[in-house]
Structure 1
Amino acid sequence: MTTEKLDKSLQTELAALAAEGRAKAPERIITEYIPPANDSGPRYRLAGSSREYIRLNSNSYLSLSTHPALVQAADKATREFGVGPGAVRFIDGTFSYHAALEKRIAEFVGMPCAKIFNSAYTANCGLALSISSPKTHWIGDQLNHNSIIRAMRISNIPSANKGIFKHNDMEDLKRCLDEVPPHIERVVVIFDGIFSMRGDFAPIDAILKVCKPYDDKFKDGVITVVDDSHGIGAYGATGRGTSEHTGVRPDVIVGTFGKAFGVNGGFIAASDTIIEAVRQKADTYIYTNPLSVADCAAALAAIDICDSDQGLDLLDHLGTITTVFRNGLRNMALESIDGPHPVVPLMVRDTARTHDLVNFLYENGVLVVGLTFPVVPKGDETIRFQINACHTHADIDYVLGLIKVFVNKVVPQVPQNVRVTRFSSAGAWA
């Protein structure tokens, strides 16, 4: 027995992915972290290169992963209990740090109870397994994260019990609610808080307003769920994310410790009863080891920082330099999507030029993510910039300067009244 025949079939499938433009590039390996110095933020070295890079593709919005308080907390917990739990949660794999983190994150997001997971991805899947029934109907935003889409698929409900509404379109959400079959007893409306490739946010206040008249129509009501993984810690007056920004809170909040908090893991925060159902029914919680105590201790330290004057200062700086970057793009007449979040998309709307700009930035020491056809539709090609609190004004000026050089370089000199290839405020290379 060998895998020779399977290997051959998989090679054909992988070649097809490459031909379609959907294959992932080889993974770059970070080999060195260089701390901030003078007026520059941290830099990174990659395997095979001596260049120092600025990361504008990191989810670590508050730049806490190297914070001494987190490192010390993780070290202390590891010395107390070791590097791994040795069992799943219900077989004595629950340590004091797990319980403390669940209590702390519930308090932080303003919910009665919480349960932590290895990731927000497994949290979304666990939630779906826990609250779905044959008479449950799921409704989601069309731009929801893959983890939500996967959760809806594994929720063991018929395809007829699912609806998708146009992105942030309240009239279309109403249409989906109107089309729920009459036998349904429970409706779940689920959406991202921050849409990670765009930086725009779900209008939770408007969503709740649309859902409220339908709540009495169903035996178990309409349950609203936000995955605010990119929001919590990264914006809102005190870093509470999209709920704080919109002034309302949905029924369930899913989040992560792996972005603004700079650690690992995810969580579900909701009522005591929902969380107990998760504990009893979520396969992705029950049958896997939990986070290490080091992760939990570091996450606790991160939340404490976020909830302090130091955290507010980081959030203020993050907001300031995000505004500087957004204004810099605007001053060059480049198109983005407005919003307060540090995810800043540059709408290039051309596959070749997106690749060219990503490579140009890479060659000059800047790491960013480019999204091109067929990953996104033709005309929606985008470069995602992610601003972090560790970035300095000098860093942002440097990156804006590179973009300006690139734009000026690729715009040809042509006679007046002839259409030129350039970024327009209308949003296209026109």
Structure 2
Amino acid sequence: MTTPKLDQALAGEIEALAGEGRAKPPERVITGYLPPAGTRGPRYTILGQDREFIRLNSNSYLSLSQHPALIAAADAATHACGVGPGAVRFIDGTFSYHRDLEERVARFTGKPAAKIFNSAYTSNCGLALAIGSAKTHWIGDQLNHNSIIRAMRIAGVPSGHKGIYRHNDMDDLRRCLDEVEDTIERVVVIFDGIFSMRGDYAPIDRIEAVCSEYRDRFQDGVITVVDDSHGIGAYGATGRGTSEYSGATPDIIVGTFGKAFGVNGGFIAASEMVVEAVRQKADTYIYTNPLSVADCAAACAAIDICDSDEGLQLLAALRERTGRFREGLTRLGLESIPGPHPVVPLMVRDTARTRAMVQGLFDKGVMVVGLTFPVVPKGDESIRIQINAAHTEADIDYVLEILARLQ
């Protein structure tokens, strides 16, 4: 071995994380899937556990990952073109399935063009590299996802060229815009569509109204960007996400196939010129192999389902189950953050009690995520619960029964 000193140093760093309460627990290993049966929704088996589990910590809001149409599409594409592209996109790694998915995303989002990535995380990083410049000022919501924050760092945005506004506070957004220096040529206002730990949403209509007041002040305007990873497919009357729900569409939409659509990968949807700039300038697109054709074909099938009568039925089921769960929390006198999104935070506001409730749910076959101090401030401790379309009324009632006993 040549890394004993490094190993010792890293062990100390990991031990420090554990002492701060920030270390990740060992990863649970899912070993199997049991399809819905009767009044029971899907169940999962976990390595080392002798019982089946309900997943209330899954982003698969429409429960499409096991859909026969997605599996068949992925299988057919794999048999047609193989399991990997063999090259990056600009060195003959582009297959018809990549182009088909990009065209499908553009139509679904109502944008002229789209470009796909391996994840929404790399999409955000690539976008920052593509549209940033020495005279670009970035403004973001204080609760933006880590991928947006990291994107600004990767793009080398200096501290003097960025602002942060209080969560969903339009007056503070206006303050940030007022403070932009006159030498700036373009401003990017970027925000999550759905804030993944809270389930609340960005008021895109109000953000657009504020930004429109400042667009003529800057040479290249004020560009609005939403990362709607938790919204696209799962939110709005037809699953178009936070833009559809709020009644306003930003200039650029970043999204994922890895949540409501149940597959893998991310995308940027925008004007043709923005997408071409991404193709020419985004390192996270240029220098890495693209999604497999299986992922692309499955994602296209998922979007087609979302755009069908079946998709509308899944969205209706998702809204009904979410409403049933939220109503149950209210009936039990438990606190949440209001909203129709299937991310439902249970505000516990105590670290020890949060951990005890998470363990209590696990002991009864329910997987959830607990957020405790110092990951969140004291008093904001919560359990993030995520409803999926395949959860049944019986599943929802069972979880509410457990929570009633754990209070």
| CA distance in 2: counterparts of 1:168 and 1:49, whole angstroms | 42
The CA deviation string for residues 125-168 of structure 1, in whole angstroms up to 9 with x for no partner, is 00000000000000000000000000111222321001000000
Distance 1:334 1:364 in 2: 19
Q: What are the residue-to-residue correspondences of 1:57-76 with 2, within 5 Å?
A: 57-76=57-76
Answering whether residue 183 of structure 2 is matched by residue 187 of structure 1, we say: no
**Corresponding position of 1:422:** none
Q: Residues 279-294 of structure 1: matches in 2 within 5 Å?
A: 279-294=279-294
SS at match of 2:80: helix
Instruction: Tell me which residue corresponds to 1:48.
Output: 48
User: What corresponds to 1:246 in structure 2?
Assistant: 246
Instruction: Give unpaired runs (5+ residues) of structure 1.
Output: 408-430
Could you tell me how far apart the structure 2 residues matched to 1:372 and 1:171 are? 30
Residue in 1 that maps onto 2:118: 118
Once the two structures are superposed, the pairs formed by residues 8-407 of structure 1 within 5 Å of their partners are 8-407=8-407
Contact 1:121 1:147 in 2 (8 A): yes
- The structural deviation recorded for 1:344 is 0.2
Q: Any idea what the Cα deviations from partners look like across 1:81-112, whole Å, max 9, x if unmatched?
A: 00000000000000000000000011001100
User: Hey, what's the Cα distance between the residues in 2 that align with 1:31 and 1:250?
Assistant: 41
What SS does the corresponding residue of 1:101 show, helix, strand or coil?
helix
1:353 offset after TM fit, Å? 0.3
State the 1:284 CA deviation. 0.1
C-alpha distance in 1, partners of 2:159/2:274? 24
Alignment partners' CA distance in 1, 2:269 and 2:339 = 26
The Cα of 1:289 is off from its aligned counterpart by: 0.2
Structure 2, gaps ≥5 residues long: none
Q: Given residue 405 of structure 2, which amino acid in structure 1 is its aligned partner?
A: V
Counterpart amino acid of 1:7? D
After superposition, what is the alpha-carbon deviation per residue over 1:382-427, rounded to whole angstroms, capped at 9, x for unaligned?
10000000100000000000000111xxxxxxxxxxxxxxxxxxxx
Other-structure match for 1:424: none
Task: Show the counterpart of 1:423.
Answer: none
1:252 to partner: Cα distance? 0.1
Q: Determine if contact 1:199/1:343 at 8 Å carries over to the other structure.
A: yes
CA distance in 1, matches of 2:72, 2:133: 44
Q: Distance in 2 between matches of 1:385 and 1:106?
A: 31
Corresponding residue SS for 1:53: strand
Q: Which residue of 2 aligns with 1:428?
A: none
Deviation at 1:44, TM superposition (A): 0.5
- C-alpha contact 1:225 1:251 (8 A) present in aligned 2: yes
Aligned Cα root-mean-square deviation (Å): 0.6
Partner SS for 1:85:
coil
3-state SS of the aligned residue for 2:226?
strand
State how far apart, in whole Å, the 2-side matches of 1:264 and 1:396 are. Answer: 27
Give the TM-score normalised by structure 2. 1.00
- Whole-angstrom CA distance in 2 between matches of 1:157 and 1:14: 29
CA contact (8 A) 1:134 1:156 kept: no
Whether the 8 Å contact between 1:140 and 1:191 is mirrored in structure 2 is yes
Distance 1:169 1:350 in 2: 27
- Aligned-partner Cα distance in 2 for 1:332–1:394: 17
For the Cα contact (< 8 Å) 1:114–1:267, is it kept in 2?
yes
Deviation digits for residues 28-60 of structure 1, max 9, x if unmatched?
000111111110001001000111000000000
Q: CA deviation at 1:332?
A: 1.1
Larger Rg: 1
Partner Cα separation in structure 2 for residue 156 and residue 406 of structure 1: 47
Contact 1:64–1:261 (CA under 8 A) maintained in structure 2: yes
Letter in 2 for 1:289: N
